[in-house]
Amino acid sequence: MRKSDNIVLSYLYAEYINIARSIVNKYPGYNIDVEELLQLSMIIFCEKIIEPSFILTAKLSTFFYPFCHNKCREMIKEKGKNRTNEITQEDDIPDEKIQSSEMEEWLAKYGIEGMRNCLENLREKRKNIIIDYYYRRLKMADIAIKENLSNAEHAKVEKSRAITDLKKCMGI
Amino acid sequence: MDGENEILIDGFLSGTLSEKEKQIFDQKMIDPGFVLEVTFYKQMKTAAIIEGRNEFKKRLEQIGLDHSNKKEPILILFNQAIRQIAYPLAASFILIVALSALYIYQSSYNQLSKFSKKGGYSSIIKTNVKVSSLNSVSWKQSILLLKQTRVKPI
């Protein structure tokens, strides 16, 4: 799961669709899409699992249930507010609380959309390295295997190049 | 930016800095250039999270499509059919049976009350038909006997 293997994800999808269905059945009249709920819950669930400090102390499905239930409630609330379920919100992304007027100016100038555009324009391999490192929290050795690089050092070099490309794109 | 700063910022963003590293990090935060670097890394991490989530969502959508395209076992289809058709049918059937039972009970009660208003069994006795004779013959014969003695139907 930590390496987000497709076979594992498919297995979990088939196993947990009934959990999502049973939760949706608890809230009739809200027209919550079961598959949408399952997918969004699985994203949060997998993000939790990849945390280094994570220790599983219960059955996986028992652990999954509250994630799915909370997501369902969130979706109901969002429906009430007529908001979309697009994952572009930064609400639940941890904020490291850096405060600086310079930073605010910089953010106002470029914003997150600028960074996203730059990231999308990176070479596929470099983009994957950034996502694997910062989102999937993979180690450099694992990234090297995934991206067919010779070793962890090579992956580090590619990561540095990706960051340099991003800085150029962002005008730093 | 040198490698040391990169490690410091990565450690700060992942929350894995030691106390000593935290102190060094705080000291460096006086430098506006370093603050800008930290902000850049933070933005990059946020963008990576958003992109990563979107990518993951697409993968899950594809898995969902594959999952729904697979032929569903007959048992699941049967269960779905039961949920969709059989339960409402069963509920309607129970409702019809309950209403019919109520109607039959109501009508038989009305007949009984009409019968008792007309005097009950005493009206039969008045027609000179011996009740004991009704016991000795069959039910059909009893009805004929009653008709012959012109007992008004209830």
Q: What share of chain B is helix, strand, coil (3-state, %, to 5)?
A: 80, 0, 20
Average pLDDT, chain A: 81
Q: Is residue B57 part of a domain?
A: yes
Q: Is residue B97 part of a domain?
A: yes
Q: In the prediction, which pLDDT does A92 show?
A: 53
B113 and B126 together in one domain: no
B13 and B65 together in one domain: yes
The nearest alpha carbon in chain A to B38 belongs to A98
B26 and B50 together in one domain: yes
- In this predicted structure, the answer to whether residue B12 has a pLDDT above a threshold of 70 is yes
B18-44 mean pLDDT:
87
Q: What is the pTM of this model?
A: 0.62
pLDDT tens column, A6-19: 888 888 888 888 88
- In this predicted structure, the answer to whether residue A86 has a pLDDT above a threshold of 50 is no
B66 and B99 together in one domain: no
B134 and B110 together in one domain: no
* B51–A100 CB contact, under 8 Å: no
Q: In the prediction, which pLDDT does B150 show?
A: 60
B45 and B12 together in one domain: yes
Which of these ranges, A100-109, B14-23, B33-42, B44-53, has the smallest mean pLDDT? A100-109
B101 and B124 together in one domain: no
Q: Is residue B76 part of a domain?
A: no
* B57–A6 CB contact, under 8 Å: no
Closest-CA distance of chain B to residue A73, Å: 19
Which of these ranges, A29-33, A118-122, A166-170, B147-151, has the smallest mean pLDDT? B147-151
pLDDT tens column, A138-157: 889 989 998 889 999 999 99
B154 and B127 together in one domain: yes
B88: domain range? 82-117
B64 and B1 together in one domain: yes
Counting the structural domains of chain B, the total is 3
Q: Which domains does chain A possess?
A: 6-80 (no CATH), 101-170 (1.10.10.10)
User: Mind giving me the DSSP string for chain B?
Assistant: --HHHHHHHHHHHHT---HHHHHHHHHHTTSHHHHHHHHHHHHHHHHHHHHHHHHHHHHHHHHHHHHHHSPPPHHHHHHHHIIIIIHHHHHHHHHHHHHHHHHHHHHHHHHHHHHHHTTTHHHHHHTT--HHHHHHS-HHHHHHHHHHTTPPP-
A85-105 mean pLDDT:
52
Q: In the prediction, which pLDDT does A64 show?
A: 87
Q: Is residue B61 part of a domain?
A: yes
- In this predicted structure, the answer to whether residue B67 has a pLDDT above a threshold of 50 is yes
ipTM of the complex: 0.76
- In this predicted structure, the answer to whether residue B72 has a pLDDT above a threshold of 90 is no
| Dist. CA A91–CA B111, nearest whole Å | 73
Closest-CA distance of chain B to residue A10, Å: 6
Q: Is residue B14 part of a domain?
A: yes
B22 and B55 together in one domain: yes
B56 and B91 together in one domain: no
Q: In the prediction, which pLDDT does A84 show?
A: 47
B112 and B125 together in one domain: no
